[in-house]
């Protein structure tokens, strides 16, 4: 693209690409600059271990994409991306070959929880009945009247609780472990207010849209978005690190799929001091140590249910999980970390040569840690899958420090690009009525450091692009997310 584009996007993560797609659908010419050699940010797939073994470098499980209004409007299947639902969304192994599992059905899940069955049903059934409205209001700017007020109110009442509080509703080890394992995705101590919201959101997504895995790898989502942007006349340019806003072409809109810290650097002293000061107080959370494994056969879980699960939460009972997460948040490396495992081979045979498998794992570690946690991760898996080490062909380790080096959005290895406590859920990156708009004319933040926060859902990018269209170009109606619209600069008054 030789002439100056209408819009420039810095960063090609799912939010940068979502913003680019919305703007291109509105008829703008768009150029996306990406620092890495390939687009996708946290949504990529590579042969990290051995030839033919395709591993998701970051995101692997996509309940948020499946539930996201952006991806529903974008129509993921129509763009050739297949979301494959494992029969068990997530499982949590316990001693003696037992496990707790969540499937699509609330009643089936409850039926395996013994005396906790009715408590589980009475907790989850009303939420699942309001699933669309709840997901819609959570994956939003969080500043509008919810489409389903009753659902949003119910979710807020329960979700403001801590994971520990929710877990105490149950008598049995299984239900308590399930809630703690899924709540640990919050990357916060499990006794903190609001962590229950993460557990409930991810559980209700398991019961409504599932926890799908992308056929061929998460990269397929990125490739489809890049193709869609390109089809609309846009351009994605890899290997370009933008260091200052002045380096960019003189576009009307600049969308930053970056961290708040990068916004400070990119803008230099152009930001008003009050905004810059508040931005500099933005807080990042713990990091992750990620380990990918090439396996000669599936993980030999003692529990048969774990062998059918897309995701397995490994860490023992609720007390063990809570202890491990608390240690991390206090700056220590747990000897027995809580481990998130995804086994794409349960539904996707394309990830490894015939008969072979990949395993995706990570555990939380203190911010900036350069410690290789693969031994601790392997030993936790071995507790519930004896013989695991015998099926390992190769592994690839990315410490939290490596993760931050690879993607500047993951400061200290924080994959959420900022702590998601109550203050930073609503006030990310700083509290403003329009969180995407910066004080600089035409410059918008569109990364997961804006509402609704982390995950591959594209909503931060979509909402930022809609805000930019409204404020800078007076376009109030969201564009149809479809090709073939007249280019905006053709009909814009001179």
Ligand X SMILES: Cc1cc2nc3c(=O)[nH]c(=O)nc-3n(C[C@H](O)[C@H](O)[C@H](O)COP(=O)(O)OP(=O)(O)OC[C@H]3O[C@@H](n4cnc5c(N)ncnc54)[C@H](O)[C@@H]3O)c2cc1C
Binding site for ligand X (CB under 6 A): 10-16, 33-36, 41-43, 58-62, 64, 241-242, 257-258, 262, 288, 290, 362, 403, 407-410, 415, 447-448, 454-456, 460
The strand ranges marked E within 161-243 are 213-214, 235-237
The DSSP-derived string for 235-298 is EEE-S-----GGGS---SEEEE-S-HHHHHHHHGGGS-HHHHHHHHT-----EEEEEEEEESS-
Tokens of 240: 């370009």
CA distance 10 to 254: 8
CB closer to ligand X, 33 vs 284: 33
Q: How far is the CB of 384 from ligand X (least distance, A)?
A: 20
What's the min distance (Å) between Cβ of 365 and ligand X? 12
Radius of gyration of the chain (CA): 22
CB-CB neighbours of 211 under 10 Å: 27
Nearer to ligand X, 7 or 288 (CB): 288
Least distance (Å) between residue 144 CB and ligand X:
21
Taking the complex as a whole, the smallest distance from the CB of residue 310 to ligand X amounts, in Å, to 10
Q: Which is nearer to ligand X, 121 or 265 (CB)?
A: 265
Nearer of residues 120 and 360 to ligand X, judged by Cβ = 360
Shortest separation between residue 60's beta carbon and ligand X, angstroms: 5
Q: Between 430 and 488, whose beta carbon lies closer to ligand X?
A: 430
Give the containing element (helix H, strand E) for 32: strand 30-33
Closer to ligand X by CB, 110 or 442: give it.
442
**Kind and range of the H or E element at 328?**
helix 318-329
Are 39 and 32 within 8 A, CB to CB?
A: yes
CA distance 385 to 463: 43
Q: Give 173 or 198: the residue with its C-beta nearer to ligand X.
A: 198
CB of 15 to ligand X, least distance (A): 3
Of 33 and 120, CB closest to ligand X: 33
| Comparison of 110 and 456: residue with beta carbon closer to ligand X | 456
Of the pair 161, 195, the CB lying nearest ligand X is at 195
Strand order in the sheet with 357-365: 99-102, 88-93, 309-314, 339-342, 357-365, 287-295, 392-398
Helix axes 219-231, 14-25, angle to 10 degrees: 20
CB of 140 to ligand X, least distance (A): 16
> Residues 137, 414, 229, 444: is their CA dihedral positive or negative?
positive
Cα(140)–Cα(160) distance, rounded to whole angstroms? 17
Query: Which residue lies nearer to ligand X by CB, 120 or 310?
Result: 310
Q: How far is the CB of 494 from ligand X (least distance, A)?
A: 32
Q: Look up tokens 């979301």; give the residue.
A: 83
Q: Exposed (0-12), middle (13-18) or buried (19+): which is 166, by Cβ within 10 Å? A: buried
- Whether a cis peptide bond, with omega within 30° of 0, leads into 100 is no
Tokens of 186: 């919050």
- As measured in angstroms, the least distance from the Cβ of 398 to ligand X is 8
Cβ 19 to ligand X shortest distance, Å: 9
**Nearest distance in Å: CB 182, ligand X:** 13
Q: At what angle do helices 173-183 and 195-208 cross, to 10 degrees?
A: 100
CA dist., res. 82 & res. 46, Å (int): 18
Nearer to ligand X, 196 or 413 (CB): 413
Q: Least distance in Å: CB of 76 to ligand X? A: 13
Alpha helices in 185-240 (DSSP H): 195-208, 219-231
Tell me whether residue 11 or residue 159 sits nearer to ligand X (CB atom).
Answer: 11
335: closest CA among 347, 320, 348? 320
In whole angstroms, the minimum distance from the beta carbon of 71 to ligand X comes to: 11
Q: Is 425 in contact with 194 (CB distance < 8 Å)?
A: yes
For 167, list phi and psi in degrees, rounded to 5.
-65, -30
Q: N- to C-terminal Cα distance for the chain?
A: 21
């Amino acid at each position: 693209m030789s002439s100056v584009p209408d819009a420039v996007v810095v960063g090609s993560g799912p939010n940068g690409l979502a913003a680019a797609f919305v703007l291109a659908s509105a008829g703008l010419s768009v150029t996306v600059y990406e620092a890495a050699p390939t687009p996708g940010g946290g949504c990529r797939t590579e042969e990290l271990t051995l030839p033919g073994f395709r591993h998701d470098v970051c995101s692997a499980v996509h309940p948020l994409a499946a539930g996201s209004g952006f991806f529903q409007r974008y129509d993921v299947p129509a763009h050739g991306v297949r979301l494959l639902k494992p029969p068990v969304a997530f499982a949590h192994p316990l001693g003696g070959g037992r496990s707790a599992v969540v499937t699509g059905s609330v009643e089936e899940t409850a039926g395996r929880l013994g005396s906790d069955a009715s408590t589980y049903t009475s907790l989850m059934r009303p939420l699942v009945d309001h699933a669309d409205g709840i997901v819609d209001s959570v994956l939003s700017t969080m500043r509008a009247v919810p489409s389903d007020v009753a659902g949003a109110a119910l979710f807020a009442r329960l979700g403001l609780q801590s994971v520990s509080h929710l877990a105490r509703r149950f008598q049995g080890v299984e239900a308590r472990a399930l809630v703690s394992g899924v709540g640990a995705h919050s990357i916060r101590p499990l006794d903190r207010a609001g962590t229950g919201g993460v557990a409930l959101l991810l559980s209700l997504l398991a019961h409504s849209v599932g926890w799908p895995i992308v056929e061929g790898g998460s990269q397929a989502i990125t490739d489809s978005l890049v193709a869609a942007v390109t089809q609309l006349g846009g351009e994605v340019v890899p290997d370009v690190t933008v260091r200052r806003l002045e380096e960019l072409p003189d576009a009307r809109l600049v969308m930053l799929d970056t961290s708040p810290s990068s916004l400070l650097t990119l803008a230099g002293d152009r930001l008003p001091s009050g905004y810059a000061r508040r931005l500099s107080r933005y807080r990042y959370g713990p990091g992750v140590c990620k380990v990918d494994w090439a396996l000669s056969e599936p993980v030999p879980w003692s529990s048969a249910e774990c062998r059918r699960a897309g995701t397995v939460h490994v860490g023992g009972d609720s007390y063990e999980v809570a202890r491990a997460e608390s240690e991390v948040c206090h700056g220590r490396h747990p000897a027995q970390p809580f481990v998130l495992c995804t086994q794409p081979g349960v539904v996707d045979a394309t990830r490894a040569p015939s008969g072979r498998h990949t395993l995706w794992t990570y555990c939380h570690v203190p911010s900036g840690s350069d410690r290789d946690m693969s031994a601790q991760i392997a030993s936790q898996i071995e507790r519930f899958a004896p013989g695991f080490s015998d099926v390992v062909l190769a592994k690839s380790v990315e410490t939290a420090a490596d993760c931050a080096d690879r993607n500047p959005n993951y400061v200290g290895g924080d994959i959420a690009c900022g702590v998601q406590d109550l203050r930073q859920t609503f006030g990310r990156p700083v509290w403003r009525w329009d969180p995407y708009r910066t004080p600089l004319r035409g410059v918008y933040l569109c990364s997961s450091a804006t509402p609704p926060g982390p995950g591959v859902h594209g909503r931060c990018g979509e909402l930022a692009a809609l805000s930019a269209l409204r404020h800078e170009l007076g376009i109030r109606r969201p564009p149809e997310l479809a090709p073939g619209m007249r280019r905006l600069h053709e009909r814009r008054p001179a």
